[in-house]
């Protein structure tokens, strides 16, 4: 992975902490809107993580594929990943 692993790990650990908090909120039967807001915040954080990873993939892996005549494979791989992200 070419993304900043330290930054990615920090964000993922934050998301894990948020998930633990959400689980506690559900166990404590907290207010639905509060739980939903935390779920949305966690989802936004995971979106940021994925964006960083995809950006690094484009800047390194796809760029390198064009330099080594393997662009068709990487383009198809990227399109499949984008399709998953759009669902």
Enter the tokens of residue 43: 């989802």
Distances (CA, A) of 57 to 14, 35, 48: 22, 33, 14
pLDDT at 67 over 90: no
Say how many domains are in the chain.
Answer: 1
- When computed from its CA atoms, the radius of gyration of the chain, rounded to whole angstroms, is 17
Place of tokens 């692993």: 5
Query: Does 59 have pLDDT greater than 80?
Result: yes
Domain that holds residue 55: 5-86
DSSP 52-66: HHHHHIIIIIIHHHH
Q: Which two tokens stand for residue 52?
A: 């960083």
Per-residue pLDDT reduced to its tens digit, 5-53 = 999 999 999 999 999 999 999 999 999 999 999 999 999 999 999 999 9
pTM over 0.85: no
CATH number of the domain that residue 75 is part of: 1.20.58.1000
């Amino acid at each position: 992975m070419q993304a900043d692993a330290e930054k990615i790990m920090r964000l993922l650990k934050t998301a894990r902490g948020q998930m633990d908090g959400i689980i506690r909120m559900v166990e404590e039967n907290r207010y639905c809107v509060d739980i939903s807001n935390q779920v949305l915040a966690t989802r936004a954080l995971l979106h940021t993580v994925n964006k960083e990873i995809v950006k690094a993939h484009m800047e390194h892996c796809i760029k390198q594929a064009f330099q080594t005549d393997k662009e068709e494979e990487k383009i198809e791989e990227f399109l499949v990943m984008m399709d998953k992200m759009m669902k």
